């Protein structure tokens, strides 16, 4: 079973709902714990489908593979993503912690994970693609990208999710 954990610090100059939105644009539908000072997310393989697709769309499989292999320990992979890039729906792997903080990602549970997310390439194209079963029993595939970041899917899911994140942040601030 694949487990995904995401942790992001919210700096005093940032809004927690915008940081949560950055996480959601790369890892849709994670279970988010949004606080004034941090955003944490938890999920599984289904939550990695967008990342899987973006790595191919942006043609950064080689970079992603080297970053992920460098952060692999047994069945666990750790890496950082650019918070600002994520807000725009783009993947960036900062070499060190960014001044406003980075998105820290930890994924565990399957040694084949790096090969699934970022397979070896030849001339920029994957040499092979493996499939991992999602929680629904379906195989995880490239079709994970349904719409561009910031666009609304046919069912309005992106806008609905963004509104829920904003509402949750308002509820948290009102409770303080």
Any idea what the CATH number is for the domain that residue 94 is in? Answer: 3.30.1440.10
What percentage of the chain exceeds 70 in pLDDT?
A: 75
159 has a pLDDT exceeding 60: no
Q: Give 127's pLDDT tier (boundaries 50, 70, 90).
A: confident
Give the domain extent around 34.
3-175
What band does 131 get if pLDDT is binned at 50, 70 and 90? confident
Residue 58 has pLDDT above 70, yes or no: yes
161, pLDDT greater than 90: no
Average pLDDT over residues 109-126: 89
For residues 8 and 40, give the distance between their C-alpha atoms in angstroms, rounded to a whole number: 6
> Which segments of 88-142 does DSSP mark as H helices, in order?
113-117
Question: Which residue in this structure is represented by tokens 């942006």?
Answer: 58
5 has which bridge partners? 42, 106
Instruction: Please give the tally of structural domains in the chain.
Output: 1
Percent of all residues in the chain with a pLDDT value above 90, rounded to a whole number? 65
Contact criterion met (CB below 8 Å) for 33 and 13: no
**In the predicted structure, residue 97 carries a pLDDT above the cut 80:** yes
Q: Please say if the pLDDT value at position 22 is more than 70.
A: yes
Q: What is the mean pLDDT of residues 135-146?
A: 45
Give residue 27's pLDDT.
97
Q: 141 pLDDT exceeds 60?
A: no
**pLDDT confidence of 147, banded at 50, 70, 90?**
very low
Q: Alpha carbon of 145 to those of 59, 97, 123: distances in Å?
A: 14, 28, 23
């Amino acid at each position: 079973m694949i487990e995904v954990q995401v942790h992001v610090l919210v700096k005093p100059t940032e809004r927690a709902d915008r940081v949560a939105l950055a996480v959601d644009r790369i890892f849709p539908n994670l279970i988010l714990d949004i606080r004034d000072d941090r955003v944490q997310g938890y999920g599984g393989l289904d939550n990695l489908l967008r990342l899987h697709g973006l790595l191919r769309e942006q043609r950064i499989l080689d970079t992603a593979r080297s970053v992920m292999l460098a952060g692999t320990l047994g069945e666990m992979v750790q890496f950082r993503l650019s918070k600002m890039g994520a807000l725009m729906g783009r993947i960036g792997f900062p070499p060190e912690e960014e001044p406003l903080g980075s998105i820290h990602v930890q994924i565990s549970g399957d040694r084949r994970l790096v090969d699934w997310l970022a397979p070896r390439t030849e001339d920029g194209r994957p040499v092979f693609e493996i499939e991992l079963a999602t929680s629904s029993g379906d195989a995880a595939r490239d079709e994970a990208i349904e719409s561009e970041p910031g666009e609304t899917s046919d069912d309005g899911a992106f806008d609905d999710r963004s509104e829920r994140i904003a509402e949750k942040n308002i509820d948290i601030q009102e409770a303080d």
